Amino acid sequence: MALDFQEIRKQIQELTQNATEQLEHRQRLRETAAAILEKYADQLEYLSQKALSAAALDPIRFRCALPTTESLTASYPLPALPAQAVLIAADGSQINPDRHLGIDYCLVNIGAIQMTLRDPAAPQMNIQTRLFYGQEAFNMSEKVVALIRDIGERAILAQLAKEAGAPVITITDGPIELWGGDVALSATEQNEQKGDRYFNSYLAALDQLHSLNAATAGYIDRPRTDLLVRLLEIAPEDKEVREAAKNRWLTGIIDTELLQAYLGPGARSAMFGLLTRYAKYYQDQFALHFFYLNVSRDADKPVLARVEVPAWVAAQPQIIDALHAVLVQQCQVVTTRAYPYLLTRADEIAVVSRDERDQVDMLIARELRQRGLDVMGQSEKQLSKQARQKPKRKTR
């Protein structure tokens, strides 16, 4: 037995003893946040100044939504699909370095799928695989591999968008903000020259999409972000900016809990700017924006996604309408899940299975042996794991 279920059961009982009280506390916080949202929904300049002041006091940790020109509670109904558009989705996966395997390598696999709106022809697939081996892979961390994957996704979108011709809509799974979330990488975390090279490659791909005026977006499924809530925490006049920037007094409330009351099926929220420690890397046409989108068909069961876009997209209402309509349409292709169909397909062709990884291991080992080179064996820990996981042979 791997788990002590008796101890787990005891801990579960302790955790759930105060469940009702915790739920009631969250409900009170939610109601407070909703009231602040209603009160300050149209005080955009006031909120912007407070947010910028808070960010100046805590530039590393402070992160929130920044008002633009639309009321915080605005709701925009589903527009008509554009007359024509080429849709391109990209996703990536990787084999991370594993010192237990005895072969120093990592791999990035990018899958892209393309279709023309209103065209019955089957979508076109494109796969790009890159192997990093030996000295090149020796010092690569999982963060760097994820970074290269994200750069590869944007690069293949730029390449295919250039070949497709306008108008083009491109989508990826996850945020556009390369330096945020789990793949955060700043020049201080890695060699500064290398960090700059990676980020410049990323901006170059975005710049090519900008030159094509492509509606490029990052799609975040069922987000748990509290960017708007963070703005509401500093909004009240009696909240002095210095203290409000540090005090997370609405912790536990997320944006979608507040906005779903305003967004019917197919509707989008206001457009927000993204105020973050990495905003200095995204200037002018690259400045990051986002909106929330209810992709559900059912008025009683909202499903809100967060859609991240660069400034050149956010500034063009016609492009936002096209992106809005296409994302909702894509989320309703498969009735069992409200998620963009093309992103599902991109994931299917990008994912690297366990069997495929084993085949890559064997191919590398075989090539090395044919050239008379030694192949370091698997670590004792890895061999021990495999022995434990090996299925027992049936006996008659």
Residue 119 included in any domain: yes
Residue 60 included in any domain: yes
Residue 201 is part of a domain; what is its CATH number?
3.30.420
Residue 177 included in any domain: yes
Asked if 80 and 127 sit in the same domain, the reply is no
Asked if 73 and 149 sit in the same domain, the reply is no
91, pLDDT greater than 90: yes
pTM recorded for the entire structure: 0.87
| Predicted pLDDT at 99 | 66
Asked if 180 and 111 sit in the same domain, the reply is yes
For residues 199 and 46, what is the distance between their CA atoms, to the nearest angstrom? Answer: 33
Asked if 154 and 201 sit in the same domain, the reply is yes
Q: Report strand pairing: 168-173 vs 86-95.
A: parallel
User: What residues form DSSP beta bridges with 292?
Assistant: 306
Asked if 75 and 91 sit in the same domain, the reply is no
| Predicted pLDDT at 103 | 74
Quote the Cα angle for 239-241-246, to 5°. 95
| Predicted pLDDT at 1 | 52
Q: Report the percentage of the chain scoring pLDDT > 90.
A: 61
Overall domain count for the chain? 2
Asked if 179 and 112 sit in the same domain, the reply is yes
Asked if 355 and 287 sit in the same domain, the reply is no
Asked if 95 and 79 sit in the same domain, the reply is no
Q: Which of 93-97, 121-125, 319-323 has the highest mean pLDDT?
A: 319-323
187 φψ region: left (φ > 0), alpha (ψ -120 to 50), beta (else)? alpha
| Domain extent for 133 | 86-166+168-212+345-375
Task: Tell me how far apart the 2 most distant CA atoms of the chain are, in Å.
Answer: 78
pLDDT tens for each residue of 153-175: 999 999 999 999 889 999 999 99
387, pLDDT greater than 80: no
Asked if 103 and 250 sit in the same domain, the reply is no
For residue 152, the SS3 value is helix
Asked if 131 and 280 sit in the same domain, the reply is no
Asked if 44 and 79 sit in the same domain, the reply is yes
pLDDT tens for each residue of 350-378: 999 889 888 888 888 888 788 777 666 55
